[in-house]
Structure 1
């Protein structure tokens, strides 16, 4: 017994020795910056000295209070960024996941010719520089760009994409005569949340934000396609053939055979998509920096702008901490929703 305990202790020591470099790297480059950001969020720090030197003023939760409870421009702008990012997440994550799964199902067909070429073509946008892609999109979606010219050939007047701050949802409801997008009234205009009226929360993403959503779906679907493709190749062929022999059609095969087998990978793809969309920064920085009218502003870019443009690093760190808590909460909720549920027990007859 003593020998077994000694051997296990020795194995545990060797295990910690082998993983210690990675633990050290994670501690220095992940845990330490998070703890530093938490401390900076409690300070009024302008970035001119070390936050640990004692020269910065300790303000406690004032930075969080200005963002969440106090009426003012800080709370309104932060709420605007949350609203923009919320619509960005709600549209981008389902679209990129559905497109990635569809592409994976297409290139996974054994009888399809040119599968290698198709995989490379679909994956190519994912390895292209995001700055370069954003710059190309600026040219494509400008007033006289290729997208509007194509719409013109179809007798459709294309909008001025990057200068149109109107919400798509309010425009659709206005076209149906449900609400007046220019002068909202009733409960939508009277009630507010975090300084924004319900009309502003429910107006939908702006026309300018829709271009960012299209860009994100186009550039990320290839990566998620490869993840789905690797999982599809592990799905038992015998199971699919047995279901086919039982007369299961393609739709039922996808719903009852393939998707249950892809549940862990689906959770991974949705989690990666959720995290990346809440942290979107580079496309916003290149394609307007929040313009027009702060309708493409996101919390990640606002945190950067507060610190490096306005020298309010305490408030910028508070935004980053709130964004981290939001991502962790949504990831936990998503994990709970996608958990494997035990089948309900059958009642005895």
Structure 2
């Protein structure tokens, strides 16, 4: 019995080893490809961020000066133009994210609820119409928006019909919060309070931090919300169609109204999809590049400058590849931290029931 049992164990270990080896053999091509085209470039870029490489020659030779973490620290501690531009891009992106993520999520959920309505006719048409901007080239749509929001474009023409003088959208660097406070008569945008202009954080005054998105940035925000909501609408629509009909019928029998059903039945069932949409929206908004590159290139007065575009401009236009790469890694860390915070906020707070307790 003992010999038979020992032989069976050895046979089982041999079989498991062969299965593991076969699994690794099947995975090897994918692992090699990912290592060569993803992990290796990331490690190479990390090394570049620790040097002052100017793009000439190879960055992996002894001729390239090694500066360590200086490219990172100068973005936060050194009082120069590099830190000012980086903090300006962070400020712009914070307002951009705070507006775009809630707006596109709310619009996507609203569109999904409309399309999911059982009495709606022509659902296929509306799904295609709402989703069409998401599959259209962002560059092409950005060029169209440039014409629409031009000084003599359709938007200003429409505003003129109501006696409203439209702004010079892509030339107006004024912040919306500054305009709002000035319109309410609380502050004079041309002469802000000394308490807000005297101090600040990371090289920008409090008045600069509290500017809000500029008029030029608001056009990019409208474009992005319109073009991204269709994709998230499909995610919400798939989740809505996966909700059991019995839950809605049970809530109807309990006398729940439409708002109560939405709040206590639909929204809890959409929580995983909501987390996915918010996470994807957060990542994409912090990485915004193509719309800025086509529509404004950071202008006017750097009010549409974003970290992704600043990284590109610093590396490929100013030939400061070390600082440009450092900006991209800081952006990566920001996205990871915010995603983890969002995951913690949206975690399931229902207490687990321990075995043996009622």
TM-score strictly above 0.5: yes
1:233-256 CA-partner distances (Å, limit 9, x unpaired): 111111111112211112121111
Alignment match, 1:71: 79
Alignment match, 1:88: 96
2-structure distance, mates of 1:336, 1:90: 18
2-structure distance, mates of 1:9, 1:338: 41
Structure 1 residue runs of 5 or longer lacking an equivalent are none
Shift of 1:3: 3.8
Residues 46 and 312 of structure 1 are in contact (CA less than 8 Å); yes or no, is this contact kept in structure 2? yes
Alignment match, 1:319: 327
Alignment match, 1:287: 295
2-structure distance, mates of 1:211, 1:246: 46
Shift of 1:14: 2.9
SS at match of 1:58: coil
Question: Which stretch shows the higher mean deviation, 327-336 or 246-255?
Answer: 246-255
The structure-2 alpha-carbon separation of the partners of 1:86 and 1:237, relative to structure 1 and needing over 3 Å to count, comes to same
Shift of 1:52: 1.2
1-structure distance, mates of 2:133, 2:285: 17
Pairing 1:24-103 to 2, within 5 Å after superposition = 24-103=32-111
Shift of 1:342: 1.8
Alignment match, 1:188: 196
Runs of 4+ in structure 1 deviating by more than 4 angstroms, as ranges, are: none
1-structure distance, mates of 2:33, 2:235: 26
Question: Which stretch shows the higher mean deviation, 254-263 or 132-141?
Answer: 254-263
2-structure distance, mates of 1:184, 1:296: 22
The structure-2 alpha-carbon separation of the partners of 1:322 and 1:182, relative to structure 1 and needing over 3 Å to count, comes to same
Residue 350 (structure 2) pairs with residue 337 (structure 1): no
SS at match of 1:179: coil
Q: Look at both structures and tell me which one has the larger radius of gyration over its CA atoms.
A: 2
Alignment match, 1:177: 185
Alignment match, 2:269: 261
Residues 49 and 55 of structure 1 are in contact (CA less than 8 Å); yes or no, is this contact kept in structure 2? no
1-structure distance, mates of 2:226, 2:213: 18
Given candidates 163, 166, 177, the residue that maps to 2:171 is 163
Pairing 1:104-123 to 2, within 5 Å after superposition = 104-123=112-131
The structure-2 alpha-carbon separation of the partners of 1:179 and 1:15, relative to structure 1 and needing over 3 Å to count, comes to farther
Pairing 1:270-309 to 2, within 5 Å after superposition = 270-309=278-317
Shift of 1:10: 3.1
SS at match of 1:139: helix
What is the TM-score normalised by the length of structure 2? 0.93
What is the TM-score normalised by the length of structure 1? 0.95
Number of residues of Structure 1 aligned to a counterpart in Structure 2: 345
Alignment match, 1:149: 157
Residue 214 (structure 2) pairs with residue 213 (structure 1): no
